[in-house]
Amino acid sequence: MVESLFSPLHLNSSEKGILFVNLDGTVTAYNDTAEDLLNVPREKVLFHPFEESFSDTVFGFSLQQALKDKKVPSTRSSIAETVNPLEVDATILLRDKNTSTPLKPLNLTIPVVEGLIILVRDISELRRLQAIAQRNDRMKELEKMAALIAHEIRNPLGGIKGFAGLLQRDLKGNDDLYKLATHIVEGTENLNRLVYKILGYAKPLKLDLEPHNLVTVLKELLLYLNADASIDPRIIIDLKYSHDTLLVLIDPESLKEALLNLTNNAIQAMSQGGNLCIEVAESAHEAMVKVSDTGEGIPKENMAKIFTPLFTTRPEGHGFGLTEVHKIVHALNGEIELFSKVGNGTTFVIHLPKIESESILIASSV
């Protein structure tokens, strides 16, 4: 019996979702993880024909064709029909007289029964980490390019400013030409400030990290925001946290600088008023600060460019605010994520390594 081969102990101890479909298309094994990942109740799947609950190609290949041919195409694909991306491994098990076969994904050796075993794994966290790694690599390349361009611009810019200054001196008797020379000088000064911003961005940021209570830092930030008379009174600012103490290794002033950048962006996105929420959350090993607004949201085509230097959608913007946020968060050994949809607001999530109070006590006593 397949049920005895795929016992509940073995099935439900696996971190992967497991399905077994016999050659007539009936699902005869379906573990708890598969139920969670595929979001189809066990009673609708187990001992029912596969096609009653799933489409034929839900796992990236034709299941009917695989059972008919007793052969599975090479599969390690992502399922588009589920909420989270899932990785799929599928293997046909065929009877071989008087033999057993190792079933490596489950670390079992069983007498072979005929049918199709399908293993599924949630890879949403892997995809998230890959996206962060790709963005970090891209930012490093941009840092190098920015530094190179800034150095190349700085020297000729100094020459232009010098010659424009000479023109100013020689044209003092001609108001119109003097104004033109003054515009040149002012333009070179603006460009020079931009060059220094680029060079500052490209320079590595090193911070002195010490244990601090994240909640206390955020309360100080809230006091500052509530005292800012320039903020539209129609914007409601709220701070949410579950515990009074959450220890993290940070430079508090740098973190507040990054968060002020995020909150300023949120405020600017809510021209008609709205809600700005700063929320503290935690998992086993990390603390999270979520900055959410109910503003206009960010178009999908801008999401990948949002941390890129010089990228801005505002006429008065210089395109370094979120770039600086990204740099500070990385110097804090953290990561930052962005979630947004046009018309539904924006949420930035800063992930920071959490430290336990016990480890601080031990370190201070050594």
Query: What is the residue extent of each domain of the chain?
Result: 2-122, 127-202, 210-365
Identify the three-state secondary structure at position 249: strand
Any idea which residue has 């959350």 for tokens? 281
**Apex 51 CA angle, 46 and 53, nearest 5:** 55
What is the C-alpha to C-alpha distance for residues 334 and 315, in angstroms, rounded to an integer?
30
What's the DSSP call for residue 104? G
> Percentage helix, strand, coil, to 5, in the chain?
45, 25, 35
For residue 297, which of 235, 263, 348, 341 has the smallest C-alpha distance? 341
CA-CA-CA-CA torsion sign (164, 165, 168, 171): negative
The lowest-confidence range among 104-113, 148-157, 275-284, 325-334 is: 104-113
Q: Say if residue 359's pLDDT is above 60.
A: no
Cα 256 to Cα 266, 322, 328, distances in angstroms:
15, 13, 10
Identify the three-state secondary structure at position 27: strand
For the record, the structure tokens of 344 come out as 């539904």
The lowest-confidence range among 24-28, 54-58, 113-117 is: 113-117
Burial of 233: CB neighbours in 10 Å, binned 0-12, 13-18, 19+: exposed
How do 235-240 and 274-282 pair as beta strands? parallel
- Per-residue pLDDT tens over the stretch 70-122: 887 765 555 545 556 777 878 877 765 444 444 444 444 444 567 888 888 88
Give the pLDDT band (50/70/90) at residue 38. Answer: confident
- Per-residue pLDDT tens over the stretch 207-265: 999 999 999 999 999 999 998 988 999 999 999 999 999 999 999 999 999 999 999 99
For the record, the structure tokens of 12 come out as 């439900």
110, 113, 115, 119: CA torsion to nearest 10: -10
Identify the three-state secondary structure at position 48: coil
Per the CB < 8 A criterion, the answer to whether 26 and 2 are in contact is: no
Instruction: Give the pTM.
Output: 0.56
Beta strands in the chain (DSSP E): 17-22, 27-30, 86-93, 100-103, 108-111, 115-122, 210-213, 235-240, 247-250, 274-282, 286-293, 335-340, 346-353
What is the C-alpha to C-alpha distance for residues 82 and 210, in angstroms, rounded to an integer?
42
**Apex 336 CA angle, 314 and 255, nearest 5:** 85
91 DSSP β-pair partners: 117
Other CB atoms within 10 Å distance of the CB of residue 293: 24
Mean of pLDDT values over 331-358: 88
What is the C-alpha to C-alpha distance for residues 313 and 341, in angstroms, rounded to an integer?
16
For residue 21, which of 57, 66, 81, 60 has the smallest C-alpha distance? 66
Tell me which CATH code domain 210-365 carries.
3.30.565.10
Q: Say if residue 124's pLDDT is above 80.
A: no
Q: Which architecture does CATH list for 2-122? A: 2-Layer Sandwich (3.30)
Identify the three-state secondary structure at position 121: strand
**Apex 339 CA angle, 338 and 343, nearest 5:** 130
